[in-house]
Amino acid sequence: MDVYASLVDAVGGTPLVRLNRVTGALTAPVYAKLEYVNPGGSVKDRAAVAMIDAAEEAGLLRPGGTVVEGTSGNTGAGLAMVAAQRGYRCVFAIPDKSSAEKIALLRAYGAEVVVCPSGVPREHPDHVHETAARIAAETPGAWHADQYDNPANPLAHYRSTGPEIWRQTAGRVTHLVAGVGTGGTITGTGEYLKEVSGGRVTVVGADPEASVYSGGDGRPYFVESIGHFVHPETVEDLWPSSYHPPVVDRFETIPDRESLLTARRLAREEGLLAGGSAGTAVAAALRVAAGLGPDDLVVVLLPDSGRNYLSKVHDDDWLRRWGFLDADGALPSVGDARIAAVGPHVRPTDTVERALATAHGAAGPVLVTTVALRPDRPVMAPEVIGAVSAERLRAAIASGTARGDDPVAPHAAPALPVVGRGESAAAALAALEEQAAEAAVVLLDGTVHGLVGRSALRTAVG
């Protein structure tokens, strides 16, 4: 019989499929390693099985024990799949940036899920990693998988993903392109391929534009599970030890728009329904291949399925809301309305007095943002944490609820609603009316582009 004794034995052995249409006129072949074909739905199955096996062997995880992990979703699915088979309980801490589908998926495997805020510094007790570590410490019989610092994670790829790619390409692979989250995939696969090829394989990291791995300033970005974000109040930025930086020969840095729209093209032009990080990787691979010829062979790793992101990357309304899709042309869009320039920003720790001075004379509300004030770069949507107006602050001072030297954050109104520049003006107006808001922040490519009021939208709708 051609059967598996257990689901766990079916992990790995994923297909390598040539990209035929998104490659256009490129002459270098580009092959996609379809990691979403793994039984738990992502590349993370490999690390999950390896980490649990190693923990059992070391006596860290015993029958009836609890698997605990901080995960953006896929590692959790892999761990939960193995845990279900072997009778372990699972508790996962997951950032609220992760898609609703991923959270629902973990619960479907019977795991307990604790959703943690994404926008907090690394040292904050509610940070995903801190939460997972605390739950593990407080739960008898618990084992913290800690994919960021678990050598079994990169080793899984050194032992399986790397050898598979070498075998599948008959040793012809010249370039490996992959994203870097914990770094396990690129480290293990890259180190194996370099070793077996005598250093001939070039390893290229595919990184979100703002990620610090490739030298960005660590501000937020939209693609999930790859790159490295640094909250401005983080005291010490730690990189995972699962990532060995010397393995990466160079990086391609990919803006969110290019990542997300490449993922969309993969589905529409290749029939490959993959996630946003696969979009980043393929966008990088296309750039790499542009400098190569027919004797080269590029392998790009597609970590997970687009089914994880049907409400995000693969939803046109979501893409348009965050400013990643342009107007579809038929109806007046937000971009056709009069968009006011955004005034100066204030930081949450600025005083009420200073915020009042800033807001006084500003045309609209002043945004409270978590960023260090740098006029040379746009503010990302997730950095906007509130809005204040001069009237609001004056009223708070007059009623005695605020003092001039208080930090402004507790006195700010919640952040304004957001609308995408390519959204229909009528839909944006309806959204403002529904939320009883006078104005919205207009987004382009996930960044703050301006402010639009109800009356400007009404004029555009005509």
Ligand X SMILES: Cc1ncc(COP(=O)(O)O)c(C=O)c1O
Q: Any idea which residues carry the catalytic annotation? A: 44
Closer of 276 and 335 to ligand X (Cβ): 276
Question: Using CB under 6 A as the criterion, what x/- string covers residues 160-179 for binding ligand X?
Answer: -------------------x
What distance in Å separates the CA atoms of residue 36 and residue 237, rounded to the nearest whole number?
31
Within residues 115-154, the interface with ligand X by CB under 6 A covers none
Provide the minimum distance between the beta carbon of 169 and ligand X in the complex, in angstroms, as a whole number. 20
Q: 134 exposed, middle or buried (CB, 10 Å; 0-12, 13-18, 19+)?
A: middle
Closer of 214 and 369 to ligand X (Cβ): 214
**Is 303 one of the binding residues for ligand X (CB under 6 A)?**
yes
Closer of 61 and 248 to ligand X (Cβ): 248
Q: Which stretch binds ligand X (CB under 6 A): 48-56, 81-89, 180-188, 201-209?
A: 180-188
For 91-102, b/e burial (b = at least 16 CB within 10 A) is bbbbbebbbeeb
Return the residue matching tokens 């795991």: 111
By CB under 6 A, name the one of 75, 253, 369, 370 that touches ligand X: 75
Rg of the chain in Å (alpha carbons): 24
Question: Using CB under 6 A as the criterion, what x/- string covers residues 26-65 for binding ligand X?
Answer: ----------------x-x---------------------
Return the residue matching tokens 């582009």: 449
**Is 185 one of the binding residues for ligand X (CB under 6 A)?**
yes
**Is 256 one of the binding residues for ligand X (CB under 6 A)?**
no
Sign of CA dihedral 279, 282, 287, 288: positive
Provide the minimum distance between the beta carbon of 55 and ligand X in the complex, in angstroms, as a whole number. 18
What distance in Å separates the CA atoms of residue 262 and residue 380, rounded to the nearest whole number?
21
Residues present in the chain in total: 462
By CB under 6 A, name the one of 253, 259, 277, 389 that touches ligand X: 277
Closer of 219 and 228 to ligand X (Cβ): 228
Provide the minimum distance between the beta carbon of 42 and ligand X in the complex, in angstroms, as a whole number. 6
- Return the ∠ at Cα 105 (arms to 152 and 180), rounded to 5°: 40
What distance in Å separates the CA atoms of residue 108 and residue 91, rounded to the nearest whole number?
13
Give the H or E element holding residue 162: helix 162-168
By CB under 6 A, name the one of 23, 118, 202, 225 that touches ligand X: 225
Contact between residue 185 and residue 193 where contact means Cβ atoms under 8 Å apart: no
Closer of 180 and 460 to ligand X (Cβ): 180
Please choose, from the candidates 260, 257, 256, 431, the residue with its C-alpha nearest in 3D space to the C-alpha of residue 334. Answer: 431
Closer of 77 and 352 to ligand X (Cβ): 77
Sites of contact with ligand X (CB under 6 A) = 42, 44, 72, 74-75, 179-186, 225-226, 275, 277, 303-304
